[in-house]
Each structure stands twice: as structure tokens, then as C-alpha cells.
Amino acid sequence: MTISIKSPEDQSRMRVAGRLTADVLDMIGEYVRPGITTAELDRICHDYIVNEQQAIPAPLDYRGFPKSICTSVNHVVCHGIPGDRSLRHGDIVNIDVTVIKDDFHGDSSRMFGVGKPTVSGQRISQIAYDAMLLGIEQVKPGGHLGDIGHSIQTYAEAHKCSIVREYCGHGIGRVFHEDPQVLHYGRPGTGIELREGMTFTIEPMINNGKRNVRLLPDGWTVITKDRSLSAQWEHTVLVTANGHEVLTLGKQDRETRNQG
Ligand code: MF3
Ligand code: CO
Ligand code: CO
């Protein structure tokens, strides 16, 4: 396993890619309404990334993926392919954006409620968000990957939700998915030790029911086997000398957290 350490120059380029990724998610929010199709969301993001940002949507043609973003609705866990399905009142949808700028990747996803959220949709989205934040809080030099997984798992399971195990966070930089794998479950003090200059994602997928998943015949779409709701949030994180920096904070979070 080779984990790349980003130089200060690489880190500033990661910061730019991360900011652009967050800008796409900030931009698309107002379009997530009943009646819009996920293919329309994809087209709006694609055009914004290519024309406004002069950047590259990393998912497009990645291992044959046909679209520029992933859209995962309700019981879809991840890697949903944008298509003709219109969003309906009460749906929850994860939009996952990965942007390449100046050779470096930013990767982030958020949950959006369509119209007025249902109680269960709101709840699972909030638990996934809080779980991701708890994982991020563990990131500091000298900490271990297992600290991240453990805090996420403990929190989600305390709320009677389950963690998907087949998919995980990942190192990121010049390469979309690089070492290390960032598991969303685990034991404190295990796994590799974190070092300043590492960059990776934290992206827990949390199910309302059982953790088991199924891959649809399209080869991409992952759903919960029991069709329970699933939620996911993702940030790209840099290990700094004193702790961490979240590279994909949206405008609102940058203002309240005073970063950037
Ligand atoms: N953005 C996803 C991740 O968080 C990966 C999507 S791969 C794709 O790692 F091909 F489905 F786009
Ligand atoms: Co990712
Ligand atoms: Co992603």
C-alpha cells in the first residue's frame, strides 16, 4: 500500500478542486424539487462543471460510468445513474459530485429532501450527516483510520441503523480512488496511522434497516436488500499539522465554521 503525501503545492490544488466540488453542490440545491428528473440534475451539473468551472466531471466514463454525477434516491445506497425518473415529494436523494481541476480531485456528496421531508427520510439523513462529522473529528496526525470507523459505527448503531460495508472512503488526489481504504466501521487504534499531508474521503452509507446491499443488473446501482432507506454524506479531508481541514465545505459551512 502506498499512500501519497500531498506537498503544500498539491494541497493548494486539492483545496481548489474541493472548493469547486462544493460549489457544484451549492449550485444544484435549488433545482432539487418535485418533478425534475435525475438526468436533468446531471445535465445542469455537467454543464456547470465543464463550462463555468472549466473542470472535468470525474465520474463520466470512469470505468464505464455513463453520467457526470451519481444520484441515489431513497433505498439506493450509492452510484445511482441519473435517468428519467422524476423526483417525487418526500423522496430523499444523495447527489455525489467529483470534480477534477488542474489534475486533482475533489469528492463530496450531500442528501437533499424533495419537497417536505418525511420523518424517516429526515432522520436517516441526519444520522448519516452526524456520523460523517464524528468521523471527521477523529482526523489528526498520530490518529488511526480505525478511530474514524469506530466513531461512525458506534454512533450509527446506537441509533439502530446499520453501516454498509461493501463500499468505503478512499485516498484521493491525482487519482480518484487511491490508498488507503477508509472503512466506516472498526476499532480504535487499528489501521494505518494518519500523517500530515494525507487526503482522503469519509463517506458513510447508513441504512434504516439491515446492512446488506444488492447490485442492480446495470452494474452500478447499489440498493438495500430490504429496500430500507439509505443515506450518505461525503467530504474530502486533509490531515494538517494540528488536525484536519475539510476541503469540500459548502458556503454555509465555511461561514459558520470560519474556514476558507
Ligand atoms: N463519487 C463516488 C465516491 O464517492 C464514486 C463514484 S464512481 C462512479 O467514491 F463511477 F460511479 F461515478
Ligand atoms: Co468518494
Ligand atoms: Co463521491
Does ligand 1 come within 6 angstroms of the Cβ of 107?
A: yes
Asked if the model's pLDDT at residue 7 lies above 70, the reply is yes
Q: Within a domain: residue 1?
A: no
Q: Domain containing 157: what range?
A: 8-259
Residue 172 lies in a domain: yes
pLDDT band at 117 (very low <50, low <70, confident <90, very high): confident
What burial class does residue 90 get, using C-beta atoms within 10 Å of its C-beta: 0-12 exposed, 13-18 middle, 19+ buried? middle
d(CA 208, ligand 1 centre) in Å:
22
Is residue 141 included in any domain, yes or no? yes
Percentage of residues of the chain with pLDDT beyond 90: 97
* pLDDT number for residue 257: 65
pLDDT of 199 > 90? The answer is yes
pLDDT at 99: 98
Atom of ligand 1 at shortest range from CA of 62: 10
The C-alpha angle 76, 81, 86, rounded to 5 degrees, equals 80
Say which CATH number the domain at 88 has.
3.90.230.10
Q: Is the CB of 62 within 6 Å of ligand 1?
A: yes
Decide: 79 in ligand 1 pocket, CB within 6 A.
yes
State if residue 65 touches ligand 1 by the CB under 6 angstroms criterion.
yes
What's the total number of domains in the chain? 1
In a domain, 2, yes or no: no
In the predicted model, what is the mean pLDDT of residues 33-48?
Answer: 99
Mean pLDDT of 180-196: 98
Residue 178 CB–ligand 1 contact under 6 Å: no
Residue range 19-45: average pLDDT? 99
| pLDDT surpasses 80 at 144 | yes
In a domain, 29, yes or no: yes
How far is 208 from 126, CA to CA, in rounded Å? Answer: 12
Ligand 1 atom 4, closest CA:
107
pTM reported for the whole predicted model: 0.98
CA angle, 112 then 76 then 63, to 5°: 105
- Binning pLDDT at 50, 70 and 90, where does residue 213 land? very high
**Nearest ligand, CA 57:** 1
Task: Give the pLDDT of residue 259.
Answer: 46
